[in-house]
A and B are shown apart, each in its own frame.
Chain A
C-alpha cells in the first residue's frame, strides 16, 4: 500500500479557526476561497504547505489558512520564503503580497527572487492602492489618480507588474481577474505544478479605497470583450462572439476581426507560453486592449535549489572532510608538548 498517496482533503481542511476580517465585498475573499479549493487538488500534504506574507491587507492571508504560516514584515516575504524553501526544498511555499508590499518597500526582494528562480509561488494582490494605511497611491496607481496622498492627482507613473517581473527574468507570470474563482483555482494548481518561481498578478478590487479600478476589464458584462484569456497552444481569440484576435503588425500587436479584411482564424497568433524569448510575452503584458489574462509566460528553467543541490553533491563527492574535526585538524597544525 502506498503510504504517501494523496490524502483526501476538502477546502474546509485548509480554513483556520480565525474570523476573516477583510472588508465585506473584497476580492480577497474570492482569492482565499479559491486557494482553499485548489490545495486539495494539488496532491500536497497539508503539513508541507507554508504561507509567508509581508504587510498589508493581503498579508493577513496566512492567518486564515490552516497550514504553516508566517506574517512577516513589510516587503520581506520573498526573502523569508526563500529561506524557508532553501532550508527545506520539500515544502510547498507560497508568498502572499500586495502592490505596495512587493513593488515599493519590497521591490528589491521581489526582483531578486524572480531572478534566482527558487520554486516558490507568489500571489500578488494588485489593487492599485494602499488599503491598510487607508488609501495612498501605490506603485501601480495611475497617473492623475486622486488618493489620500495625491489629492490633486498622482504624478508618479505606475509599474506594470508583469513587465517588471519578466524584466527581472520571471519564468512564470500569470494574470487573473479577482472575480473569476474557477479560473483562479486552476491557476493556483498550475503555479504549484510549475517548477520555479511562479508569479500570479490578481486584479483585486478594493471596495473601500479604489472601488471599480478594474471594472472596465473585469465586469461580467464587458469581460469577454475586454479580456483575452490566453491558453498555451491556442490562438489568441477573444470577444463575446469569439471573433476578435491578435496579429503581429511589424513590431506591434494589433487587434483584428475574424471575417473582416480576409482575416481567418489561421491568421491569429497562437500563444506559446513556453517560449524562452520574452519579447512577445512583454507585449502581451503591456497591452491595454484587450487586457491579457491567463498564464502569459511559463518557461521551464533550472531552479536555484537544483543548482545548489547539484553543486553540493559535487563538492561532497570531492571533499576530504566528513566531520568538522577533519577540517579543524587539517593543514597547518602543530603540537605543543
Chain B
C-alpha cells in the first residue's frame, strides 16, 4: 500500500500523452501497457500505440533498436494515441534522440542518467552529452539514476541475477510515472502476482522496484507536482482494452458462434497481420481450425476449400500477401463462395514499410484481379470496432455468397483502446444460404431473388453433387459455358450481386455540421485523427465543417451523393496518394474532390489536419 499522508494536491488535467522509450529489451511495451490498463481501470478513456523496430533484437543502444509505447489518457473522449508528447520517459540516449521531436518545449522528459555513458552516447551518435551541452534547456528534464537506484533497491532480494535486476528498471520508471499521474500501483502488483505465480522472487523484486520508484517520486524535489486525470464519461458497461488485431480475431469468433458455422483460418505469417493468426490458434476450444499454410496462396486456397466444404472461411494478410492471393480471390469470386480476406495494410509498394501504417491497398482490394471481378470491400475505423467490422464482413460473406475484403491497417491493428464488450447475444443474426435437401430441378447457380446469392450446397449433402470452378459457368445449369451472351450475362449479374449489397449496409452519416462549407471525408483507420480534428474545430466555433467516414467502399452507401451535395467543399483525407478520392471522382464526377494525403508511414497529426481545414474554410 502507498502512504497517502505526504501527498501533494494534484493538478487536474483533461488529457495527457506519455511516451516510454528504450532499447528493444527494456520492456517498454509492458510498461506502457501497464500504465494504460491502470488508467482504463480507473475510468479514463485511453488510446495506445506501440512503435517498435522491425529488427527483433537490434544491437543494444542503437538508434534503430529503439522501442516505444505511447499512451494517451483523458477524462474527455480520446480518439487517437496523440501527437504532442507531454511526458517522455527515455531509458537511454538513443531513445531520447529518436523521440525528442515529439516533445514540445516546456514539456517533461524523465531520463535514466545511468544509461548516458560515453559508449551509449556514441551508439546514439551524440557528439556531446545532451544532459550537459544545454540542448535540453527548453524542456523540463528530470534526471534520475534509474539503473543504480534499481540495483540498490534489490540488493537484499535473494535469487536474482544481474540480468533480472537490469530488466526490472522499467518498473522503477513506471513507479515514478504512477506517482506523477496519481495512479495506484495495485493493478500492476496484481499483474505480477498472476504472471510470476510460480516465481515468488520475481514478484518480490518487481513489486519492490515499482514501489521504490513511486516513493522516490513522492519524496523527490525534482518532481515538483503531480497531476490527475478524472474518469471520462463513457457509456456504462463492462470494458476491456483491446487491440485491433485481437478485436478482428474475436469478431470472427463471435460470427462463427452466432452463425453456428465452424471457423477456418488459412494464413501465412506477415507483419502486421500475424497477431490475428496468433490469437485464433489459441481458440481450438471453440472448434477454430487455424491452418498455418506453406505460403499466402495456400492460405487463401485452403480457405476456399474449407468454404466449399461448409466452413466460415477466412484468410489474413497484409499488402504483399494480398497481391499473392489475387488469382485465388478471383476464383472465390467466380465460384461464389463465402470468404473473408483481412488485409492489415502497411506501407507499400513491394516490401515497403512493414511496421508502418498506410492506406495504399485500397485500389488493389478494389481491382487487383484479372477480369471483371467485383468483391465487397470494407474497412474498420478504430482498434475496437475491428470487432464489429470483422463480424459484419463474415455476415455479408455468408449472406451474399461472396468474398469480402476487410481492410484494417498497422495503426489500428497494433493500437488499442477500451472496448465496451459485446455479448454474442447482442450481435445481429447471421443467416446463410445452405441447402440441405434435394430440391426438384435444383442447380448450383440458382440465385436468391433479392440478394442474387447462389445456394451453398456442401459436400456430404445427398443428391446435390455438383462441380464448380474457375471457368465461366452457364447461368442456369452451372456447367462450363463459352457462350458469348452467357459470359456477358454472368459478368453483369456478379456485379449486380455486389451492387445490391448497398441495400444491406448502413447509410453514411455525417458528424458535426450536416450541411455547410466543408465536408471532411475519410475511410478506414484514420477515423480517430479526423474525428478529433473536426471535433476540435467544432468546439472552437467552426460550425460549418462536417465529417463523413466511410466503412463500406464497395458498394458505397446508397446515400453518399445526398451527403456530398450538402457541402460547398469536400476534402478527402487518406494515407495514400488519393485512392479513395479517385473512387469518389469516378462515381460522382460532378463534384470537386480536394485531397489531403500523407504517405510517410505515419498517421495524420492533429495540427496538420486542423490547419488544413482552417485554410479550406477561410
Interface set of A (CB-CB < 8 Å, partner B): 16, 18, 45-50, 52, 62-63, 65-73, 76, 79-88, 90-91, 108-109, 112, 308, 311-312, 315-316, 319, 321-325, 327-329, 331-337
Contacts and interface: CB of A to CB of B under 8 A. Distances in A.
B466 interface: yes
B101 interface: no
A47 B461 contact: yes
B504 interface: no
Nearest to A66: B465
Interface stretch (B10-18, B199-207, B288-296, B396-404): B288-296
B469 to A, nearest CB: 3
A47 B298 contact: no
Contacts of A316: 284-285
Interface in B301-350: 301-311, 313, 327-328, 330-331, 335
Nearest to B464: A47
Nearest to A331: B240
A334 B40 contact: yes
B264 A87 contact: yes
Report whether over half of chain B's contact residues are helix, strand or loop; otherwise say mixed. mixed
A87 B309 contact: yes
Interface string B401-424: 000000000000000000001111
Interface string B40-66: 110100000000000000000000000
Nearest to B315: A83
A86 B303 CA distance: 10
Nearest to B242: A328
B40 to A, nearest CB: 6
Given A82-B291, A323-B424, A335 B327 contact: no
Interface residues of B, number: 70
A86 B297 contact: no
Contacts of B285: 315-316, 319, 321-322
A9 B40 CA distance: 66
Nearest to A319: B285
A34 to B, nearest CB: 19
8 contacts: A72-B469, A84-B305, A87-B289, A91-B460, A112-B293, A319-B285, A329-B423, A332-B241
A65 B310 CA distance: 21
A88 B309 contact: yes
A158 to B, nearest CB: 23
B68 interface: no
Contact of B467 (A69, A73, A112): A69
B237 A335 contact: yes
B305 A80 contact: yes
A108 B294 contact: yes
B385 to A, nearest CB: 15
B305 A48 contact: no
Contacts of A323: 257, 424
Given A68-B465, A73-B328, A324-B286, A80 B302 contact: yes
Given A73-B327, A87-B310, A47 B302 contact: no
